[in-house]
Amino acid sequence: MADKIKDAKIIFVVGGPGSGKGTQCEKVVAKYGYTHLSSGDLLRAEVASGSERGKTLQAIMQKGELVPLDTVLDMIKDAMIAKADVSKGFLIDGYPREVKQGEEFEKKIGAPSLLLYIDAKPETMVKRLVKRGETSGRADDNEETIKKRLDLYYKATEPVIAFYSGRGIVRKVRLESPLTGCSQEIRREGMFVMKEMS
């Protein structure tokens, strides 16, 4: 089974909570037909199923903490296998959250060819999540949990970017509005990323 995804093209999508990972992934899917797998969405689907495992996960996510590595990695792997025959590549959104998650993914599945780093200012992320919380129904889109998620992002997840920068596969995407404030260099970099996807 796992053989099916042995040579799959893998792109990690990393960024803070509310940085726009899901939004950017949708654009890449529309343009390049990659399969989008969001660790948070997979976990929320498990919670929605009402399973015992889902209840345990819900309690962790509500506090803005990370669920156990094995749980999330198994879910991603199963989802990849299910899509292997129809997929030209995978956008893995929200994973790795810590360097150890990246190492385990590479041992069990394979190495990423790119890491898209969705960068945004902390105040932008908080603002977007508070706004999203008005309608999202997500238990973690409240100010207290948002602050915890942000702290954990800087502590645990930012080192992931440094780790993969050493391999030269990190591409930074910064799309904070207004877009007119975006430098030429960043625009070019954005296009470079897209070219590598096709």
For the four alpha carbons of 160, 111, 108 and 43, in that order, the dihedral sign comes to positive
Strand order in the sheet with 170-174: 35-38, 90-93, 10-15, 114-119, 170-174
Q: Does 121 bind ligand GTP (CB under 6 A)?
A: no
Dist. CA 152–CA 96, nearest whole Å: 13
Contact partner at residue 39 from ligand DAT, Mg ion, ligand GTP, none, CB < 5 to 8 Å by partner kind? ligand DAT
Mutual angle of helices 52-62 and 39-48, in 10-degree steps: 130
Q: Does 17 bind ligand DAT (CB under 6 A)?
A: yes
Annotated ligand binding at 24? The verdict is no
Q: Does 139 bind ligand DAT (CB under 6 A)?
A: no
Max Cα–Cα distance, the chain, nearest Å? 50
Q: Does 183 bind ligand GTP (CB under 6 A)?
A: no
Q: Does 108 bind ligand GTP (CB under 6 A)?
A: no
Annotated ligand binding at 100? The verdict is no
Q: Does 22 bind ligand GTP (CB under 6 A)?
A: yes
Q: Is 97 helix (H, G, I), strand (E, B) or coil?
A: coil
CB of 61 to ligand DAT, least distance (A): 4
Residue ranges at the known binding site: 18-23, 39, 44, 65-67, 94-97, 101, 132, 138, 149, 177
